[in-house]
Amino acid sequence: MLLVLACLLVPFGTVSTWAKYEIEDTDAYVATMAPLAADPDVRASVADAVTDSVMKEIDAGPLRATVASFVRDAVHSFTETGAFQTAWNAANRAAHDAVQAALTHDSDGAVTIDLAPITEQVKRQLIEEGTPFAGRIPVRHTEVTVMKAQDLSHFRKGFRMLQVAGLWLPAAAVLLAVGGILLAVRRRRAVTATALGAAVGAAVLAAAIAAGRALTLDDLPPDVSRAAAGAVYDALTDTLRTASWVIVGVGLAVALGAWVWGRVGVPSGGGGVGVSGVEVSGAAAGGGASGGVGVGDGPGVAAETGTPDTPRPAGSPSRRNPSAAPPRP
For Cα atoms 210, 215, 221, give the angle at the middle one, nearest 5 degrees. Answer: 135
Question: Which amino acid makes up residue 221?
Answer: P
Does residue 228 form part of some domain?
yes
Is the backbone of residue 305 left (phi > 0), alpha (psi -120 to 50) or beta? alpha
Q: Round to whole Å and give the CA distance between 268 and 19.
A: 51
pLDDT at 152: 65
Half-sphere exposure of 130 (CA within 13 A, CB side): 0
Question: Is 191's pLDDT higher than 80?
Answer: yes
Residue bearing the bigger pLDDT, 1 or 209: 209
Does residue 321 form part of some domain?
no
Does residue 154 form part of some domain?
yes
Q: Round to whole Å and give the CA distance between 28 and 95.
A: 14
Give me the domain span that covers residue 6.
2-262
C-alpha distances out from residue 280 to 33, 61, 184, 265, 285, Å: 71, 106, 30, 22, 6
What is the mean pLDDT of the segment spanning 188-205? Answer: 94
Does residue 281 form part of some domain?
no
Q: Round to whole Å and give the CA distance between 194 and 328.
A: 66
Is the backbone of residue 209 left (phi > 0), alpha (psi -120 to 50) or beta? alpha
Does residue 136 form part of some domain?
yes
What is the mean pLDDT of the segment spanning 109-126? Answer: 69
Helix axes 149-165, 82-104, angle to 10 degrees: 80
Helix axes 2-18, 226-264, angle to 10 degrees: 150
Does residue 74 form part of some domain?
yes
pLDDT at 57: 74
The single-letter DSSP state of residue 114 is: E
Question: Which amino acid makes up residue 46?
Answer: V
281 band by pLDDT with thresholds 50, 70 and 90: very low
pLDDT at 102: 73
The beta strands (E) that lie in the chain are given as 111-114, 143-147, 273-275, 278-280, 293-295
Domain count, the chain: 1
Does residue 328 form part of some domain?
no
- Report CA dihedral (45, 46, 48, 50) to the nearest 10 degrees: 160
* pTM of the complete model beyond 0.95: no
Question: Is 288's pLDDT higher than 50?
Answer: no
